[in-house]
Amino acid sequence: MSFAEYGDLPFDEAIRFLRNKLSVPTGRWTDVWKQGHDQAFMVAGAAKADLLQDLRESVDKAVSEGETLAAFRERFDEIVAEHGWEYNGPRNWRTRVIYETNLRTSWQAGRYAQLTDPDVRERRPYWQYRHGGSADPRAEHLAWDGTVLPADDPWWDAHYPPNGWGCSCHVVALSPRDLENMGVEVQEAPEVETYEWTDPATGEVHEVPKGLDPGWDYAPGRSVAERTRETIERKAAKLPDDLGENLRRHADDVADQDPGPAPGDQD
């Protein structure tokens, strides 16, 4: 099931997140690490600028126009043939990784920008972790399904989804009335255990929370959302009161838009 087939529509924050990135040629997938992906667009092994630009344009169509995985693969084949790119891995696997990783992280980053707006946080101060619905789920992701925590709980800093390759888990914001109607309560954050992962190329050892893939223990879009909110507040503070309030209200109105469930069909 692809992004377009799933029925989702692109939304401004997700598109803007992708388009505001800088293109960074790389040799390995670890060349850009964790929240560095908030600022950098990369495709592992795409070290030439023109190749990376063509790949980026193809990813942009997937995010902004809802282009299907099948269409992305056709475009990918054309790019590979034109540039003579020798990439790693089988074609179907590699295209799915590029396509789904960019769609899901862009979607979740855009959603993070919406959910962390101060007005939204005031009305809906709780987040619930929702499993993506995979038939073969990660045990930890399934265990976290339904967990309700305050939106500012530090657990989200590492566990805001996606939490690994192919993860389609997502977060739902809830109000106190939502909790009452659903018959659920705010919980304590799940215990965090870690494992060591060693980068085979550099030998660097990373402590990774169990249930997360290496490099995925961060909240996509968090650094961008925080910087955007700071910019809005600085600009609003310099305006007359009514204009400053209008600027804040416009940002709040944008944040209230709900694009629906996260794209994807895997855990």
- The one-letter amino acid code at 86 reads E
Q: Given the DSSP bridges, would you call strands 170-174 and 194-198 parallel, antiparallel or unpaired?
A: unpaired
Distance, in Å, from the CA atom of 148 to the CA atom of 173, rounded to the nearest integer, reads 9
> Which two structure tokens, joined as six digits, stand for 201?
């190329």
Residue numbers in the chain where pLDDT is lower than 70: 1-10, 225-267
Asked if residue 85 lies in contact with residue 79, where contact means CB atoms within 8 angstroms, the answer is yes
Give yes or no for a contact between 208 and 217, defined as CB atoms under 8 angstroms apart: yes
Position 12: which residue type?
D
Q: To the nearest 10°, report the CA torsion of 41, 43, 48, 54.
A: -80
Quick check: helix, strand or coil at residue 40?
strand
Distances (CA, A) of 73 to 96, 168, 212: 8, 20, 27
Cβ atoms of residues 115 and 13 within 8 Å: no
Structure tokens at 106: 């862009």
**Residues in the chain, total:** 267
Whole-prediction pTM: 0.82
pLDDT for the residue 265: 42
pLDDT for res 61: 93
Q: Which residues contact 241 (CB under 8 A, 6 or more apart)?
A: none
33: left (phi over 0), alpha (psi -120 to 50) or beta: beta
